[in-house]
């Protein structure tokens, strides 16, 4: 398929995304499902004691797992060009984070909710975890790790938002400490190719970069070219 044909497919997919309310409703449904399951799992896990050391281990492991897993999903999505599939409009819309990386300033709770709507893969993961928790199929420590990782997967979206949008000293400090994503670390993803996909704090980027180098041809000469003929609403005003 030629680049022009791919660009046409991209524009058709975005036309569907912007005109069919089903896609926006689907995003809202995913947001509600993710936030509901996260809240339910947290309520379920908090009374289970793992001790102070267990909590430290769980939070540290969850932070690294969420950074890594969400980075891998980002790597997969940045290379996905199935615009003609039923989920193609969602894929096309995802790629616009490279075209217009600045977000509209929003309340952080709203960012958490809205951006959770792009995490379709997280819903079945949380649902299976909820079933496992209900049937006692997971050890208390592993349950804590996975529940925290599930919540941090949505927090990663807030971290990415702050990285692009905020000059708050607290956000900058958390970024520089490696707790959240630093502007310097994340700039590599937008300025270079096939690099730095992680976006909770970027600590697992060295590993994801190795996987990307072996599995992906990058986005600069690939999916980033597909939106070249697309005009966002802001650009067409």
Q: What SS3 class is residue 231?
A: coil
* Residues from 70 through 89 that contact Zn ion (CB under 5 A): 78
Give residue number: closest CB to Zn ion.
Answer: 78
User: Any idea what the Cα angle at residue 66 is, between residues 161 and 133, rounded to 5°?
Assistant: 125
CA distance 7 to 147: 39
The interface mask with Zn ion, positions 98-117, x = CB under 5 A, is ---x----------------
Nearer to Zn ion, 147 or 152 (CB): 152
Half-sphere exposure of 229 (CA within 13 A, CB side): 13
54 versus 101: smaller Cβ distance to Zn ion: 101
Residue 170 beta carbon to Zn ion: minimum distance, rounded to whole angstroms? 20
Among the candidate windows 49-57, 85-93, 95-103, 175-183, which touches Zn ion by CB under 5 A?
95-103
Residue whose C-alpha is closest to residue 41's, from 145, 112, 120 = 145
CB of 16 to Zn ion, least distance (A): 22
CB of 109 to Zn ion, least distance (A): 20
The torsion angles phi and psi of 201, rounded to 5 degrees, stand at -140, -10
Measured from the CB atom, the residue of 55 and 216 that comes closer to Zn ion is 216
For the chain, how big is the Rg over CA atoms in Å? 18
Nearer to Zn ion, 130 or 200 (CB): 200
- How near is the Cβ of 187 to Zn ion at its closest, in Å? 9
Identify residues 14-33 at the interface with Zn ion (CB under 5 A): none
Q: Which is nearer to Zn ion, 101 or 140 (CB)?
A: 101
Cα 195 to its chain centre, rounded Å, is 15
Residue 210 Cβ, how far from Zn ion at the closest point, in Å? 17
Q: What tokens were used for 180?
A: 């959240």
Nearest Cα residue to 232 out of 4, 8, 15:
15
Q: Which residues bind Zn ion (CB under 5 A)?
A: 78, 101
């Amino acid at each position: 398929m030629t680049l022009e044909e791919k660009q046409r497919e991209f524009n058709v997919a975005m036309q569907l995304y912007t005109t069919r309310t089903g896609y926006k409703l689907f995003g809202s449904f995913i947001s509600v499902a993710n936030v509901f399951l996260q809240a339910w799992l947290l309520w379920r896990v908090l009374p289970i004691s793992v001790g102070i050391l267990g909590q430290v281990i769980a939070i540290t492991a969850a932070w690294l797992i969420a950074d890594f897993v969400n980075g891998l999903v980002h790597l997969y999505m940045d290379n996905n060009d199935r615009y003609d599939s039923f989920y193609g409009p969602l894929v096309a819309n995802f790629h616009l984070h490279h075209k217009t990386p600045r977000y509209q300033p929003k309340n952080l709770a709203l960012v958490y909710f809205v951006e959770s709507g792009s995490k379709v893969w997280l819903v079945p993961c949380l649902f299976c975890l909820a079933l496992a928790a209900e049937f006692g199929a997971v050890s208390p420590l592993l349950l804590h790790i996975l529940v925290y990782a599930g919540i941090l997967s949505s927090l990663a979206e807030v971290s990415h938002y702050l990285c692009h949008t905020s000059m708050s000293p607290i956000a900058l400090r958390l970024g520089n400490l490696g707790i959240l994503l630093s502007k310097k670390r994340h700039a590599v993803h937008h300025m270079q190719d096939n690099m730095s996909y992680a976006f909770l704090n970027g600590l697992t980027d060295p590993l994801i970069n190795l996987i990307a180098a072996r599995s992906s041809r990058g986005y600069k000469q690939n999916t980033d070219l597909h939106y070249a003929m697309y005009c966002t609403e802001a650009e067409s005003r």
